[in-house]
A and B are shown apart, each in its own frame.
Chain A
Amino acid sequence: MTGRYAGIVSRAIGHAIDVTLLAVLIAGSSWLAQQFLGIDPAHCPQVRAWWHLRARLCWFLPYAAPVAGVLIPPLYLVTFYVVAGRTPGMSVLGLRLVRANGRQVRLRQALKRVGTFYLTLGLGSLLIPVTERCRALHDIVAGTVVVYDWGSHAPDVERAIALARSGGD
């Protein structure tokens, strides 16, 4: 089973976990910053001098979360693809991103993949069930594939699959 191309459901669940994680991270950081600096964006003081940094931050903070929401996810994806070959969400589902020849992904492929994903708004994923190696458009552009890689958990997963196929008997 390990090494087979991953389908759309596993990949969608993995992506949903990553999105949730990022949302919690960004919203949590914004909230923590407000609490830590004692800033209330609803009642920001006027900036009267250039050194009134807290007042400046207060005006900036409502825009910080959306900006972070745009900048951090691609950075997160590229970093995890290059460093670990999988994001935390993919790790939960036991998925790994590799090059079409099975080697580890490099920065170039990661950038291409993430760039195409955002340009196509992720709609390229609809190709996964219809392409031969379960490749989305961003995989084809970047020359990558997503495979199942359960590592040391493989026997447990195979047992669970056999159990599910037999109807839980």
Chain B
Amino acid sequence: MRSSGTGGPDNGPALRRLGLEARIADALVTHLVESRFSEALMEQILVALKESRDLERLVVHLLAEPEVNGSVDGMVDRQFGRVVEALRKSEEVRELVREQVDTYLQHLTQHPEPVRQLIQDQSRGMVREMLASVRAWALLADEAVNGWVSRLTRKA
């Protein structure tokens, strides 16, 4: 994921907010394009394949070849990159995302309970995990010492 690079640590809250919005916009656009673009592409391929069984066999055969598969992947990646870049530059998309972000942030400000709950659950989980690993390591060390002592006493 690329960052738009807006705002440094010394900039004001407004610039930091712009930076956050740009990053969220990037993430949303990429997600949108990934899901929509790949769906549309797959649909087109499936329609084309349904029309001709020979073509289906040909495509399957070609895609089985590593070098063909690699170049198809490369081509799709390039096309995909172009679409993402075009969408990133689109002011309409940015405006749309900004509106969504505003709504989402407003919702989070009005209903912070789920986020608080999430943070609390995560903290509790971290403490539980830390305690569990301390106890596990102590038990293993106990077993090691007991084993060592019993070997020593057997020898003596």
Contact = CB atoms under 8 A, between A and B. Distances in A.
Contacts of A161: 136, 139-140
Interface string A133-169: 0100000000000001010010011011101110000
B139 A10 contact: yes
Given A164-B136, A165-B140, A129 B131 contact: no
Given A92-B131, A129-B149, A9 B136 contact: no
B: interface residue count bin: 10 to 19
A143 B135 CA distance: 25
A115 interface: no
A160 B129 CA distance: 8
B142 interface: yes
B137 interface: yes
A7 B147 CA distance: 11
Nearest to A129: B149
A53 interface: no
Interface string B133-150: 111111111110110010
A119 B149 CA distance: 25
Contacts of A92: 131, 134
A7 B145 contact: yes
Contacts of B135: 10, 93-94, 148, 150, 153, 157, 160
Interface of B: 128-129, 131-143, 145-146, 149, 153
Interface of A: 1, 6-10, 13, 92-94, 129-130, 134, 148, 150, 153, 156-157, 159-161, 163-165
